[in-house]
Amino acid sequence: MTDFVLKSDIAEIAESLSDCAHGFAGKTVMLTGGRGFLGRYFMDVFARLNETVLKKPCELIVLDNLITAGKEGAVIPDAPHVEFIKHDVAKPLKMKRKIDYVIHAAGIASPFYYRAYPLETLEVAVAGTRHMLELAEKNQARFVFFSSSEIYGDPDPKHVPTPESYRGNVSCQGPRACYDESKRLGETLCYVFHEMNGVKTNTIRPFNVFGPGMQETDYRAMPNFASRIKAGKPLSIYGTGDQTRTFCYITDAMAGFLRVVLLGVPGEAYNIGNPKPEVSMLDLISRMEKVLGRKVDYNVIEYPDSYPADEPQRRCPDIRKAMLQIKYKPTVDLDEGMRRFFSWTDKAYAGET
Ligand SMILES: NC(=O)c1ccc[n+]([C@@H]2O[C@H](COP(=O)([O-])OP(=O)(O)OC[C@H]3O[C@@H](n4cnc5c(N)ncnc54)[C@H](O)[C@@H]3O)[C@@H](O)[C@H]2O)c1
């Protein structure tokens, strides 16, 4: 197990799957993006399940081209039941081993990085998804695609909390389009392979997951704030600070993702997040001050060139479908999640950004 995460969190995730994890016994899982934030959790959770729960171990094949894996991701652990292949999933892959599950989590997820790599962002979600779907079809494997809450764009407030049936309000031109639109097309590919070719596909739409293990140079809100707090620098809030988000702690999110992989109804998309509380960026800072027990300085500024403007004003998931169909239930509240995250960043971050 890596020391980038909390061992107690990995144990908590594995425990929450006690009713269904046996579905992985003796199976082979192909995981793309396995050296990213979520991918490294998948690796640690599978290692823990192998050690504690599964009668026959689950074999893991991990693909990553390391484009945004950072220094933590670039260190490949020499772990039992894991084969790592450095590969760009936008290119075809020949694989002789039989695969039972494909978890396609490769992507360029941070707005800072998709602004820097728009074509790579598009390719991994479109060409990458197609190649992985073809592999799943050939192996009659279950396929899970990591889409995003961003496919809803800037939702009409009438549709917040946002259910999976909401069709979105997305621009095909603009600084975010390479991400939103390619994730939408990735979902369409899943739909086509499910409807026409009979592949058992699921789509996951995560809503702002955070936790230990996020790279300091990730530039998503939580790690960015934590790094600046560590450095004693004021936080930068872009736009007005009134835009809202919900944040889902990593243990809840991972339990939800793995429940989709094991129990998702073929063809369906699932929101995975924590709908409460929906907070503005300014509210988030007040909550952080309470959790940290001290004042946090910040400035409200214009969007810098490095960060895509045109961001959604509100984002909050309706998770009733996942609660009903796969028994997903987030349990870690925002303050407790921040407490765990900031006590980890306090030791792990250098205050670099
Ligand atoms: N973490 C979240 O809150 C969140 C929210 C919405 C969607 N998602 C989606 O979930 C997935 C995982 O997110 P994450 O937070 O772990 O992101 P991440 O950026 O930390 O990790 C993604 C990994 O994919 C790899 N990758 C990118 N392009 C690749 C390619 N062409 N071939 C092989 N590997 C490639 C990167 O090197 C990186 O290691 C992504 O697809 C992301 O879009 C995550």
Q: How far is the CA of 307 from the centre of ligand 1 (A)?
A: 17
Q: Which residues pair with 271 in a beta bridge?
A: 205
Confirm if 313 and 244 have CB atoms less than 8 A apart. Answer: yes
pLDDT value for 48: 96
Residue 256 CB less than 6 A away from ligand 1: no
Residue 90 CB less than 6 A away from ligand 1: yes
Taking CA atoms only, the protein residue closest to ligand 1 atom 8 is 148
Taking CA atoms only, the protein residue closest to ligand 1 atom 25 is 33
In the chain, where are the structural domains located?
7-210+248-277+313-332
pLDDT value for 3: 62
pLDDT value for 2: 54
pLDDT value for 353: 67
Taking CA atoms only, the protein residue closest to ligand 1 atom 9 is 146
Q: How far is the CA of 158 from the centre of ligand 1 (A)?
A: 30
Residue 259 CB less than 6 A away from ligand 1: no
- Known catalytic residue: 191? no
Q: How far is the CA of 68 from the centre of ligand 1 (A)?
A: 8
Nearest-atom number in ligand 1 for the CA of 207 is 5
Among residues 179, 249, 307, 349, which one is catalytic?
Answer: 179
pTM beyond cutoff 0.85 = yes
Nearest-atom number in ligand 1 for the CA of 40 is 16
Residue 222 CB less than 6 A away from ligand 1: no
Integer distance in angstroms from the first to the last C-alpha of the chain?
27
Q: Name the percent of the chain in helix, strand, coil, to the closest 5.
A: 40, 15, 40
pLDDT per residue as tens, the chain (353 positions): 556 778 999 999 999 999 999 999 999 999 999 999 999 999 999 999 999 999 999 999 999 999 999 988 999 999 999 999 999 999 999 999 999 999 999 999 998 999 999 999 999 999 999 999 999 999 999 999 999 999 999 999 999 999 999 999 999 999 899 999 999 999 999 999 999 999 999 999 999 999 999 999 888 899 999 999 999 999 999 999 999 999 999 999 999 999 999 999 999 999 999 999 999 999 999 999 999 999 999 999 998 888 777 789 999 999 999 999 999 999 999 999 999 999 999 999 987 76
- Using alpha carbons, select from 36, 31, 64, 32 the residue that is nearest to residue 46: 31
Which two structure tokens, joined as six digits, stand for 306? 């490095």
Q: How far is the CA of 295 from the centre of ligand 1 (A)?
A: 33
Taking CA atoms only, the protein residue closest to ligand 1 atom 29 is 106
Confirm if 33 and 62 have CB atoms less than 8 A apart. Answer: no
**CATH code of the domain occupying 7-210+248-277+313-332:** 3.40.50.720
